[in-house]
């Protein structure tokens, strides 16, 4: 279906005004530009394409472009004519043709929960969301001295040092202050807690509670909150840690 080629400059200006109003993300914009370039700028109203072609053309992942297409359809920027195994057929609208109100709810990319059965085997140093989960479990306090932590003062410590045990599971990682981390070095965690008590940085009650917490941690009774990571299914599948949820 041939159509008159619009002015690229005019469309670009109109789209720049439209995108914030529709709350289009950068990837939505990239995907629209690519589709627009291969349809309306070539005098075609409709375009048939596959997700694979779109991902290659925009240098984005398949999942990213798939969700961008869904959002553009939901916001009325694209009109879905047909979807089949061969791909999508869409009508690429000019910004002035986009309806003022989106025709339907905006689809959100789902967050993938980490499965419980593989949680025990996860390497908690492998992803920022997993490292954050360990910090969250300690609720902003150093696991050893109980001092308040900030994003700048906190770090992760191996309860049983890496030289003794290569274990990055949640049972061997705690959130602590940099001071405790450097004092502990290769000391057993219980010895560090007793030293903190000797230095009057922990009371007897706190020392007892910390030693109990240490036992619970090693026994796997202090799991961190399960992190929800956008696109985590792909992340973990690639690393053969998890199957998609
Ligand atoms: Zn500390």
pLDDT of residue 240: 46
For 121, the token pair is 């085997």
Question: CA–CA separation, 6 vs 108, rounded Å?
Answer: 31
Chain centroid offset of residue 151 CA: 18
Question: CA–CA separation, 164 vs 49, rounded Å?
Answer: 55
For residue 132, the tally of other CB atoms under 10 A from its CB is: 17
Question: CA–CA separation, 57 vs 38, rounded Å?
Answer: 10
For all residues of the chain together, what is the average pLDDT?
A: 84
219 C-alpha to ligand 1 centroid (Å): 22
For residue 35, the tally of other CB atoms under 10 A from its CB is: 24
Does 158 have pLDDT greater than 80? yes
134 C-alpha to ligand 1 centroid (Å): 15
Who's near 94: CB < 8 A, 6+ residues apart? 6, 11, 14, 40
Specify the range with the lowest mean pLDDT, choosing from 16-30, 129-143, 217-231.
Answer: 217-231
E strands in the chain? 46-49, 78-84, 87-92, 111-113, 154-158, 173-177, 228-230
120 C-alpha to ligand 1 centroid (Å): 26
Compute the radius of gyration of the chain from its Cα atoms: 26
Collapsing DSSP to helix, strand or coil, 131 comes out as helix
Question: CA–CA separation, 188 vs 61, rounded Å?
Answer: 45
196 C-alpha to ligand 1 centroid (Å): 9
Confidence grade of residue 6 (pLDDT, cut at 50, 70, 90): confident
Q: What is the mean pLDDT of residues 20-37?
A: 89
pLDDT of residue 101: 67
Read off the pLDDT of residues 92-139 as tens digits, 9 standing for 90 and up: 999 988 887 666 666 665 555 555 456 777 888 888 888 999 999 999
For 100, the token pair is 């003022």
Cβ–Cβ < 8 Å for 190, 143: no
132 C-alpha to ligand 1 centroid (Å): 17
211 C-alpha to ligand 1 centroid (Å): 14
179 C-alpha to ligand 1 centroid (Å): 6
154 C-alpha to ligand 1 centroid (Å): 9
Q: What is the mean pLDDT of residues 45-73?
A: 89
Highest mean pLDDT of the ranges 56-70, 200-214, 226-240: 200-214
Confidence grade of residue 11 (pLDDT, cut at 50, 70, 90): confident
CATH dotted code for 8-108: 1.10.10.10
Q: What is the mean pLDDT of residues 67-82?
A: 89
Cβ–Cβ < 8 Å for 226, 108: no
Pick from 163, 134, 130: which is nearest to 223 by CA? Answer: 134
Question: DSSP string of 164-200?
Answer: T----STTSEEEEEHHHHHHHTTS-HHHHHHHHHHTT
Cβ–Cβ < 8 Å for 103, 76: yes
Percentage of residues of the chain with pLDDT beyond 70: 84
Domain boundaries, the chain: 8-108, 112-238
167 C-alpha to ligand 1 centroid (Å): 21
pLDDT of residue 149: 94
Confidence grade of residue 241 (pLDDT, cut at 50, 70, 90): very low
Read off the pLDDT of residues 32-53 as tens digits, 9 standing for 90 and up: 999 999 999 998 989 999 999 9
207 C-alpha to ligand 1 centroid (Å): 13
Question: CA–CA separation, 26 vs 110, rounded Å?
Answer: 18
pLDDT of residue 220: 86
Could you list which residues have their CB under 5 Å from ion ligand 1? 142, 144-145, 177, 180
């Amino acid at each position: 279906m041939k159509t008159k080629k619009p002015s690229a400059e005019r469309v670009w200006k109109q789209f720049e005004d439209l995108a914030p109003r529709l709350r289009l993300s950068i990837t939505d914009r990239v995907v629209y530009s690519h589709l627009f370039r291969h349809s309306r700028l070539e005098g075609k109203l409709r375009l048939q394409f596959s997700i694979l072609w779109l991902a290659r053309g925009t240098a984005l992942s398949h999942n990213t472009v798939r969700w961008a297409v869904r959002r553009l359809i939901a916001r009325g920027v694209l009109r879905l004519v047909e979807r089949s195994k061969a791909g999508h057929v869409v009508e690429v609208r000019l910004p002035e043709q986009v309806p003022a109100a989106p025709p339907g709810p905006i689809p959100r990319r789902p967050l993938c929960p980490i499965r419980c059965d593989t949680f025990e085997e996860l390497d908690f140093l492998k992803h920022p969301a997993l490292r954050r989960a360990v910090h969250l479990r300690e609720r902003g306090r150093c696991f050893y001295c109980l001092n308040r932590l900030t994003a700048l003062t906190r770090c992760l410590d191996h309860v049983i040092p890496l030289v003794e045990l290569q274990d990055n599971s949640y049972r061997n990682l705690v959130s602590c202050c940099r001071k405790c981390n450097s004092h502990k070095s290769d000391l057993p965690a219980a010895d560090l807690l007793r030293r903190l008590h000797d230095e009057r940085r922990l009371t007897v009650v706190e020392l007892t509670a910390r030693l109990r917490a240490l036992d619970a941690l090693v026994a796997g009774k202090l799991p961190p909150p399960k992190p929800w990571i956008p696109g985590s299914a792909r992340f973990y599948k690639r690393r053969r840690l998890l199957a998609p949820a």
